[in-house]
Chain A
Amino acid sequence: MTELTALQAALAAEQATIYGYGVAGAVLTGADRTYATTALAAHTVIRDQLTALISALGATPVAAQPAYRLPTPLNDTDEARALAAQLEQSGAGELWDLVAATRPAGHARALAISWLSDAAVRAAHWGAEPALPGQPA
């Protein structure tokens, strides 16, 4: 996988995650809602950074979809938490690929490593703590 392909895939995942957090956040309440709002802001920053990295390579960043099919049902707060966990784990998978596709000591790899750690911390908050975050199945 090339760095550009991995960047585009990570951007597409971020766009889906932002949409998903928007939906989950509407269902969550209290401290969970506050955490989801903070996570949504963090993902928005990552999306913008990915967009800048892709543009710097002379490519056109992949466009967001108008809407996304949610990977899990969403009827209550437990399902909203499960959705948030799944969003983080799905995004971590793209970040694993991005770390692997980037140059040693490069700016893109440094960002991807940091984003992968942040995704694992957020996934753990939502109750998902895989041994190897992002590892391909």
Chain B
Amino acid sequence: MVPDAAALLSARTGEQRLLAAYDAKIAHAAAKERARLEVARAIHAAHLSALHGAPLPSEQRIRHLPAALRSSAHHLRGLALAAVVGENAALLASIAAAHEASAG
């Protein structure tokens, strides 16, 4: 069993869900708003890449992105606290920090 495998899988799934939410919002956004959303989407794509994941369509709808980001940050901080491998803990904590900052 790879250490922290469940935590990293959970983080990947959350990031895929957020990316799908950004894609849905970008598809219906006006040009100015789309540019801002694409910058934010790129940040989450970087998170998913750091977690060795790939974008996937998500069936779960996210209506309020800031609330989803805050909830994700809280979840990721818990995963970081429990992570066995220090570098995994730091990565999860950093993604949590980025989500908190993005939530505004």
Contact = CB atoms under 8 A, between A and B. Distances in A.
Interface of A: 92, 96-97, 99-102, 104-105, 109-110, 112-114, 116-117, 119-121, 123-124, 129-135
B46 interface: yes
Interface residues of B, number: 27
A82 B13 CA distance: 35
A113 B86 CA distance: 12
Contacts of B93: 96, 99, 112-113, 116-117
Contact of A132 (B47, B82, B89): B47
B67 interface: no
Interface of B is mostly: helix
B81 interface: yes
Given A112-B93, A121-B101, A134-B94, A104 B81 contact: yes
A104 B91 contact: no
Given A113-B77, A134-B94, A102 B86 contact: yes
B81 A133 contact: no
A117 B86 contact: no
A124 B80 contact: no
Given A99-B86, A104-B89, A132 B94 contact: yes
B90 A120 contact: no
